[in-house]
Amino acid sequence: MPTPLPAFTERARPHATALFRIVTGLLFACHGASSLFGVLGGAMGQGGTVPTGTWPGWYAAVIQLVGGLLVLLGLGTRTAALISSGSMAYAYFSVHQGEALWPIQNGGEPSALFCWAFLLLVFTGPGTWALDRVFFGSRNRGESAAPAAPRREPSAA
């Protein structure tokens, strides 16, 4: 007989994954909106915007805004998360890694954390409360709203 806590955490896993997806997508989209539109402190906290078309800042901001919103809504989550994860890996290695070895030394913690968070979503999927489920159903992605109960084989006694 399973203990109550593991049973609860297994039932709650799709909901916790959805909350993780929503918060991560929202925070990522805020970075993009900040850089593109100067809201929430603007680019680099200076209240400005990234000039349109500049490489890589403007393109990164577009990926952050669009990818963050798609992940937030749970629409094309795995694809949006993969592109967002790659964007943050690029940001870490091209901008931060050259400054120092460790993320805490080179200011790359947000890039590293977003990279790994989005990579996790590539493998876990959107959880519950995703628009993918509304438009495409859970069967198309090989996911279910809750983990399936383990099969019990009849005993040969």
| Any domain includes 64 | yes
| Any domain includes 154 | no
Look at residue 154 and tell me whether its pLDDT is greater than 60.
no
- What's the pLDDT at 4? 81
CB of 96 closer than 8 Å to CB of 110? no
Residues in Cβ contact with 129 at an 8 Å cutoff, skipping those fewer than 6 apart: 15, 18, 22, 74
**pLDDT tens-place string over residues 29-64:** 999 999 999 888 766 666 678 888 888 889 999 999
The three-state secondary structure class of 66 is helix
Per this entry, what is the length of the chain? 157
**Beta partners for 48?**
43
Range of the domain at 89: 13-141
Look at residue 156 and tell me whether its pLDDT is greater than 70.
no
**pLDDT tens-place string over residues 103-150:** 999 999 999 999 999 999 999 999 999 998 888 876 544 444 444 445
Q: Give 82 or 53, the one with higher predicted confidence.
A: 82
- Interatomic CA distance for residues 110 and 47, integer angstroms: 19
| Any domain includes 157 | no
| Any domain includes 71 | yes
Domain count, the chain: 1
| Any domain includes 100 | yes
| Any domain includes 156 | no
| Any domain includes 151 | no
| Any domain includes 5 | no
